[in-house]
């Protein structure tokens, strides 16, 4: 499509990354014909969601929600058994939980990244008083093997 510029660069870990830039000239095109404005992006998200839900079928969303819940609670329970880690709050949760860590979340996330695991959200970014806290999200996309790998690497990270 006209107006798209693609460049190749290197990210902060030295891995190849691509950058897509759209020119501003398309902002004056009518919404129905636009290829890069917010309306077409919203339409793409809506279309993707509709396709996903249609593939899931009648009971699929309920099954996905149950998988998210079960896997997140498995992860939270197992992580809580690792010395130095624990759930920060006792309130019920669905697929995200705040994890108290034995050291700053940024350090733990750096260790996880060395093992190709994207860690939890460092809550100190928004709440400076929570430097040893991270938000973990587990969905239907995370396998038990991936969760178990996270557990092993978290154990390693607490001993560094």
- What's the N-to-C CA distance of the chain in angstroms? 50
Q: Which residues contact 43 (CB under 8 A, 6 or more apart)?
A: none
Higher per-residue pLDDT: 55 or 5: 55
Question: Which of 75, 97, 77, 78 has its CA nearest to residue 88?
Answer: 97
User: For residues 123 and 136, is the Cβ–Cβ distance under 8 A?
Assistant: no
Q: For the chain, list the domains and their CATH numbers.
A: 4-56 (no CATH), 60-159 (3.90.1150.10)
Judge residue 157's burial from the number of C-beta atoms within 10 Å of its C-beta, 0-12 exposed, 13-18 middle, 19 or more buried.
Answer: buried
pLDDT at 160 over 80: no
Q: What pLDDT, in 10s, does the model give residues 58-84?
A: 899 999 999 999 999 999 999 999 999
Percent of the chain with pLDDT over 90: 67
In a 13 Å sphere around the CA of 20, the CA atoms on its Cβ side amount to 5
- Kindly report the average pLDDT of the chain as a whole number: 87
């Amino acid at each position: 499509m006209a107006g798209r510029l693609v460049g190749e660069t290197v990210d902060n870990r030295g891995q190849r990354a691509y950058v897509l830039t759209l020119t501003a000239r398309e902002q004056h095109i009518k919404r129905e014909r636009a290829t890069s404005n917010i309306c077409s992006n919203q339409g793409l998200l809506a279309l993707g969601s509709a396709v996903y839900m249609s593939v899931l079928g009648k009971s699929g969303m309920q099954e996905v929600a149950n998988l998210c819940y079960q896997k997140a609670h498995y992860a939270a329970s197992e992580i809580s058994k690792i010395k130095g880690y624990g759930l920060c709050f006792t309130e019920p949760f669905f697929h995200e939980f705040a994890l108290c860590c034995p050291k700053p979340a940024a350090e733990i996330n750096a260790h996880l990244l060395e093992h190709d695991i994207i860690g939890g959200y460092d809550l100190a970014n928004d709440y400076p008083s929570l430097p040893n806290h991270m938000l973990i999200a587990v969905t239907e996309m995370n396998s038990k093997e991936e969760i178990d790998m996270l557990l092993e690497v978290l154990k390693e990270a607490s001993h560094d």
